[in-house]
Structure formats: structure tokens, C-alpha cells
């Protein structure tokens, strides 16, 4: 496999472009998989500060092969647009060699640009490949690449992105392994460091920034507009700071269900202005469609608050946590209104404690190194499969030699597996009898008899029959399969170890020399 991570975030190309991409993220995985044939799997991670595409591609995708990169008719990845470089940037700890030029990156960037209505060739994505991409995915899940370093929500967003990919049929087995290791890494960072325990998140930073413009939050009233992904986190952050008078409004009639689930007051769909007049803090987190709070909506509310005794001395603080802006920019200029948004939250993010960040990065590095060793071991899977098939074929052949056939004589002699002794098979049987003692010529007698053809078997002395251990043919098959499994265990373990230690070629050559098997097996990147 070849792993790619293409992303747009708050650093490159910025939140405005991320908002445009986030608006077209639904259904992106299946469409991208159809448009670019080289892809085997896609996970689309869309958050308030990034759009990341974790891609599993054929190993020949970056060769520029037309079969890998040519899209289906009607998509944007063709002609001169596909030659525009989309490779830019790297993870904080990735070397410049990790971010290699990629025809696949160009194809994906061109597809995204047309989908989001951006100018051809204008979209610049950060692009990591191979081990660097997998390492960065682990860092993302651990919150180390977030706008608020150490945020805890991101790992849940990663898991939900994988669940969506699974439901849409774009989650490949290789991507499953990456997501599982990313989740495990995030849990270890949360357990072994204090980074996530500090309650760092976009919502928490935004609420703290809003609190600076208000009296004590314990005496304030809040209104949440929208029931998007940040709505629940907003409720928790407000209550953690002592603000308990919270109402919720939803233009899509979801307010009552959300309010019931969080013990809030639901605002009727026709009562938004009145609810805003009674509120000191309005937090928007819809993230769909255009602005819901325009200057025409907010201006009368602000004026009413300035006239009323209850609002005297208190500005109306509006915190817009939506990536696609729920609040019109013109609201910022209204008297009596404080307008805060994601770019402002980004600028207000406090630096995380260096010691905790360093500890978290060390965990990510250790997990990434271990994961690469695991993948190196898995690169021997095709060879192990061939080895097992080879041994399984031998076992099957030997079972067929024991299995009675109608064309056989009532009793016949067949060579044993190692050629040093012979076995006597009686046709029509289902029972195998093996003599405990060998003859003078080194042969061992094995007889197979069944109830319906027992009369066909050669007569045996009573004492001889009683001394012979009796097993069914099915038991003989199980014994042979068990023997094969035991014999294959150590070669399998050593094959994975050879892959992890970089001795793949030496192991293949040894296996070919000993067993005559052709060298097989692909490698991951």
C-alpha cells in the first residue's frame, strides 16, 4: 500500500478555504474514489479547522501512470489543471524528503478545487506520504496538530470519520489499521500526559475569550444557536464555568430534542430575536448554509438591549464557532455588540505547556515507530500465504491418498509420507487402523474399514485387532492439519521478524532455496 495524507488547515491555506472545502465534504469519499482509479480507500476528516484526506492508494499511483490518475468523464482532474503542483508543507517533525511531488496529489487537489468552486490550480494542500503520513495521522488524533494543541474532541472526530467511510464503502483494511493505531495513540497520550486534562479545546478557548467581555458567567444567560457538533461541548464548557441559564435555538426544529437531552430550554423557531434580547452570550455552531445572524437581525436586538434596564452595561457577546460563519461580518460594527469568531479564537489560543507537548510527541514517535515495524512484518503476509498454501496442498494430497475410492482394490499398499514405510488401505472405509509394530521389511500396516464394507477387509486375528489404535478418517485429517499448523508456526513468526528487521529478501531467498517456492510478496511504503 501507499498511504497519503492531504490536508488543508488553519495554517495552509487558511480557515476561509477550509470553510469552502468543508461545505463540500459530504459524500466526498465515494466521489473521490470513483474519480481517481488509483485510490483503494479514503477517510475524510472535516473539522472546524481542517479538511484532511487519509488515502490508501496503489503503490504505482505516484508514477504518473495515466491509468492511475485519469478520472472518469466529467471530473476536473484532467488536462493542464492536473499538472499544477499541490504538494506543499509537511508535518512539524517530517523531513523535506517526506513531502515528495505527487501526480496523485495534483489530481486530488484539482478535483477538490472544482468541487469547492475554487480557481483551477489555486488550491495548495499539505501532502505527506508513506511513514510520514501515518505519523502525522497519529499526531492529529492526539491533538498535536490542532489549532488548540491537546484538544480532546479530535480523536472522536477521527473515529466518526472512519465510521462514515465504512458506511460509504471507502474504508480499506489498511486505513482501518491506521485509524485503530491513531485512536490507541490518542488514548495513551490522554492517559500518560496532562495535555488533554487541561480542558483545552476551541470551545473552551472561545468561551474564555467571551467571558472577558462579560460579568461573572454565573450571573449571565446564554443562547446556543444550532445543534451542530460543537453544541454539546458548548453546553459542557458553559456549565463548567458556572453558567447554567442556557437556551437553545434551531432553525431546523431540532431544539426541543437537543434541549431534552441536555436539560435546556428550547426556543420556538419564531422567537429568536426575543431570546437574544434576554441573553448576554450567544454561541452559534450551525455550520451549514449562510449566516443566520445578519446585521438586520442583530441590530434591533442590540438596540433593545441598550434601552432595557436588564441589558444596561452589558454588551451582547456573539461567539461564532461555525467554520462557514453563522454571523455576518457586518455585525461586528454594530454598537453594543462584541463579535468573536474562529480566527479570533485562533489568535487567543494560549501556548500549551512545553513539557506536556514534548511528552505527547515522544509517545506519538514511539507509537509510529512500533506501527512501522508492525507494517514491515505484515509485508511478509503474501509470502506466508504462499507458504501455507504450499503446505496445505501437500496435506490435501496426503488426505486424498488415505481417502478410499471406489476404483481402488479392497486392500492396497501406498507409500507413507516420508517414503520409509508403507501403508495398507482398504477401500470403502471410514476407519484407519495403524499397526503398532512394523514388519521385518520396515513397513507399517494401516487398514481402513467402514461398517457397510467391513466384509471386504482382509481377515485379522482378534488379538491383532485389539492391539491396533483405531482413528476415523476425519481424525486423521484433523491430525494432519494440526501437524501442518505446528510446523508452520515458527516459519511464520520468523517471517514477520525478518520483515520487521529489514531481512525480507534474505528470508525469501532462503525459503526459495529450501522449499523451491517462487519469491513472492509485496511491500508497504
Active-site residues, by number, are 48
On whether 49 is known to bind a ligand per the annotation, the reply is: yes
Q: Is the dihedral of CA 145, 146, 151, 157 positive or negative?
A: negative
Which residue bears the cell 472405509?
Answer: 429
231 has binding-site annotation: yes
Q: Is 241 annotated as a binding residue?
A: no
Q: Which long-range contacts (CB under 8 A, 24 or more apart) does 411-416 make?
A: 411/447, 411/457, 411/458, 413/443, 416/444
The answer to whether 48 is annotated as binding is yes
Query: SS3 letters for 208-261?
Result: HHHHCCCCCHHHCEEEEECCCCCHHHHHHHHHHCCCCEEEEECCCCCHHHHHHH
C-alpha cell at 522: 509485496
63 is in an annotated binding site: no
Tell me which residue of 80, 64, 69 sits closest to 108, measured CA to CA. Answer: 69
CB burial class (10 A; 0-12, 13-18, 19+) of residue 447?
buried
**DSSP secondary structure string for all residues of 163-178:** HHHHHHT---HHHHHH
d(CA 183, CA 45): 14
Is 29 annotated to bind ligand? no
Q: Is 407 annotated as a binding residue?
A: no
47 is in an annotated binding site: yes
Alpha carbons 82 and 108: distance in angstroms, whole number: 9
184 is an annotated ligand-binding site residue:
no
On whether 229 is known to bind a ligand per the annotation, the reply is yes
User: Which triple of cell numbers denotes residue 129?
Assistant: 506520504
Tell whether 157 is in a known binding site.
yes
The burial class, CB within 10 Å (0-12 / 13-18 / 19+), for 508 is: buried
Secondary structure in 3-state letters for 75-135? CCCCHHHHHCCCECCCCCCCCHHHCCCCHHHHHHHHHHHHHHCCCCCCCCEEEEECHHHHH
Q: Is 242 annotated as a binding residue?
A: no
34 is in an annotated binding site: no
φ, ψ at 44 (rounded to 5°):
-105, 115
CA separation for the pair 124, 106 (Å, rounded): 9
Question: 228 a known binding residue?
Answer: yes
374 is in an annotated binding site: no
Q: What residue numbers does the annotated binding site for substrate cover?
A: 47-50, 146, 151-153, 157
Q: What residue numbers does the annotated binding site cover?
A: 47-50, 146, 151-153, 157, 226-231
Q: What residue numbers does the annotated binding site for NADP(+) cover?
A: 226-231
Amino acid at each position: 500500500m501507499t498511504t497519503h495524507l492531504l490536508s488543508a488547515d488553519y495554517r495552509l491555506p487558511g480557515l476561509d478555504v477550509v470553510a469552502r472545502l468543508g461545505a463540500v465534504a459530504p459524500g466526498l469519499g465515494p466521489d473521490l474514489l470513483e474519480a481517481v482509479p488509483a485510490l483503494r480507500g479514503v477517510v475524510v476528516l472535516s473539522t472546524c479547522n481542517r479538511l484532511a484526506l487519509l488515502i490508501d492508494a496503489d503503490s504505482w499511483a505516484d508514477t504518473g501512470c495515466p491509468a492511475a490518475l485519469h478520472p472518469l468523464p466529467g471530473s476536473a482532474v484532467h488536462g493542464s489543471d492536473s499538472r499544477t503542483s499541490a504538494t506543499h508543507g509537511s508535518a512539524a517533525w517530517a523531513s523535506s524528503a517526506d513531502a515528495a511531488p505527487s501526480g496523485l496529489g495534483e489530481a486530488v487537489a484539482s478535483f477538490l478545487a472544482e468541487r469547492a468552486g475554487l480557481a483551477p490550480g489555486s488550491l495548495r494542500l499539505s501532502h505527506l506520504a508513506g511513514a510520514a503520513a501515518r505519523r502525522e495521522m497519529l499526531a492529529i488524533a492526539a491533538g498535536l496538530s490542532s489549532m488548540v494543541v491537546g484538544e480532546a474532541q479530535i480523536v472522536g472526530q477521527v473515529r466518526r470519520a472512519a465510521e462514515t467511510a465504512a458506511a460509504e464503502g471507502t474504508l480499506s483494511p489498511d486505513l482501518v489499521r491506521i485509524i485503530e493505531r491513531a485512536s490507541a495513540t490518542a488514548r495513551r497520550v490522554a492517559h500518560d500526559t496532562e495535555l488533554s486534562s487541561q480542558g483545552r479545546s476551541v470551545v473552551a478557548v472561545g468561551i474564555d475569550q467571551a467571558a472577558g467581555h462579560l460579568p461573572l458567567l454565573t450571573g449571565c444567560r446564554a443562547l446556543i444557536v444550532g445543534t451542530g457538533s460543537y453544541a454539546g461541548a458548548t453546553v459542557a464548557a458553559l456549565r463548567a464555568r458556572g453558567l447554567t441559564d442556557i437556551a437553545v435555538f434551531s432553525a431546523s426544529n431540532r431544539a426541543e430534542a437537543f434541549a431534552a437531552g441536555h436539560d435546556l430550554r428550547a426556543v420556538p423557531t419564531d422567537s429568536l430575536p426575543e431570546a437574544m434580547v434576554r441573553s448576554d452570550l450567544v454561541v452559534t455552531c450551525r455550520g451549514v448554509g449562510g449566516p443566520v445572524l445578519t446585521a438586520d437581525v442583530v441590530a434591533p436586538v442590540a438596540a433593545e438591549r441598550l434601552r432595557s434596564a436588564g441589558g444596561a452595561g452589558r454588551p451582547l457577546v456573539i461567539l461564532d464557532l461555525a467554520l462557514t460563519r453563522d454571523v455576518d461580518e457586518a455585525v461586528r460594527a454594530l454598537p453594543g455588540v462584541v463579535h468573536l469568531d474562529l480566527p479570533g479564537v485562533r489568535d487567543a489560543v494560549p501556548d500549551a505547556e512545553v513539557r506536556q507537548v514534548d511528552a505527547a510527541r515522544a509517545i506519538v514517535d514511539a507509537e509510529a515507530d512500533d506501527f512501522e515495524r508492525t507494517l514491515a512484518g505484515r509485508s511478509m503476509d503474501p509470502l506466508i500465504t504462499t507458504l501455507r498454501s504450499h503446505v496445505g496442498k501437500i496435506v490435501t494430497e496426503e488426505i486424498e491418498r488415505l481417502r478410499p475410492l471406489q476404483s481402488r482394490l479392497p486392500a492396497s499398499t501406498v507409500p507413507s509420507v516420508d517414503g520409509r514405510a508403507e501403508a495398507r488401505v482398504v477401500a470403502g472405509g471410514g476407519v484407519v487402523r495403524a499397526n503398532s509394530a512394523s514388519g521385518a521389511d520396515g513397513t507399517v500396516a494401516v487398514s481402513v474399514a467402514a461398517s457397510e464394507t467391513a466384509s471386504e477387509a482382509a481377515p485379522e486375528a482378534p488379538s491383532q485387532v485389539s492391539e491396533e489404535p483405531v482413528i476415523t478418517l476425519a481424525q486423521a485429517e484433523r491430525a494432519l492439519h494440526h501437524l501442518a499448523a505446528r510446523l508452520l508456526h515458527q516459519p511464520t513468526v520468523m517471517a514477520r521478524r525478518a520483515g520487521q528487521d529489514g531481512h525480507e529478501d534474505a528470508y525469501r531467498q532462503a525459503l526459495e532455496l529450501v522449499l523451491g517456492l517462487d519469491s513472492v510478496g509485496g511491500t508497504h511504503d
